[in-house]
A = this chain, B = another copy of it.
Amino acid sequence: MAYHHGNLRAALVEAATALLEDGGPLGVTLRGAARRAGVSQTAPYRHFPDKGALLAAVAEQGFRRLGAAMARAARGHGADPVGALEAMAIALVHFADRHGAHYRLMSGPAVRGRDHPALREAALAAWGLLTTTVTACQRAGRIRAGDPAAFAFVLWSLVHGLSTLLVDEQIPPIVRQTWLPAELAKKATQVLLEGLAGKRSARPGRAVAPTLSPRSPRRRRARRP
């Protein structure tokens, strides 16, 4: 047996994932992953510069799986982009519901931005699926004209928020006792889709007709360094 272990890197990612799934975010530890992979405590440093990098790799793998799950859900709704959008939303919430700790890691501050380009890329890929489908909905006349990225972002926010609340067990009891996660995802998506649908006469009083079109492109906001 190649007792350079073959491929430690993958083993470590798997070990860390296992630690994460049972034991929560606090349960994942560099030394623990090394132990679980049967190597010494500092062996991981040959593959990851630090703990954050390991976590980022785990998160990246999570995004890849999430993207796959969403794509799988969307298939079978080929003709119906709205159905595909709903299915993807449900798939995301479902993913978060199982793999709670994993989802938290993925969307958390484990690794910020540019540190780990592969992570960013995987996340953007999943997000891109949504945008594409939104565009399809627009072509089908089921979503009004406007920047598809913006619409997709609103949908993403909604579903992500739902997932986060679910994972963190912060869904108000009244709501939790009445609906299952998948139902919540479906209904929330449908409500949003209604809002995104066509232009319609606003109720008397004041016009509520958000177009979600930018007034003028803006540079990124200043952030504390």
List the one stretch of A8-16, A33-41, A68-76, A160-168 in contact with chain B.
A160-168
Contact of B150 with A160 in the complex, beta carbons under 8 Å:
no
Contact of B157 with A108 in the complex, beta carbons under 8 Å:
no
Contact of A112 with B149 in the complex, beta carbons under 8 Å:
no
Interface range for A: 35 or more
Measured between beta carbons, the chain B residues less than 8 angstroms from A112 are 168-169
Once the chains are docked, how many angstroms separate the CA of A198 from the CA of B194?
Answer: 10
Contact of B194 with A208 in the complex, beta carbons under 8 Å:
yes
Contact of B157 with A220 in the complex, beta carbons under 8 Å:
no
The one of B104, B107, B178, B188 that contacts A170, using a Cβ cutoff of 8 Å: B107
- Name A residues whose Cβ lies closer than 8 Å to a Cβ of B: 24-25, 80, 82, 104, 107-109, 112-113, 123-124, 127, 141-142, 147, 149-151, 153-154, 156-165, 168-172, 174-181, 184, 186-188, 190-198, 200, 203, 205, 208, 210, 212, 214, 217-221
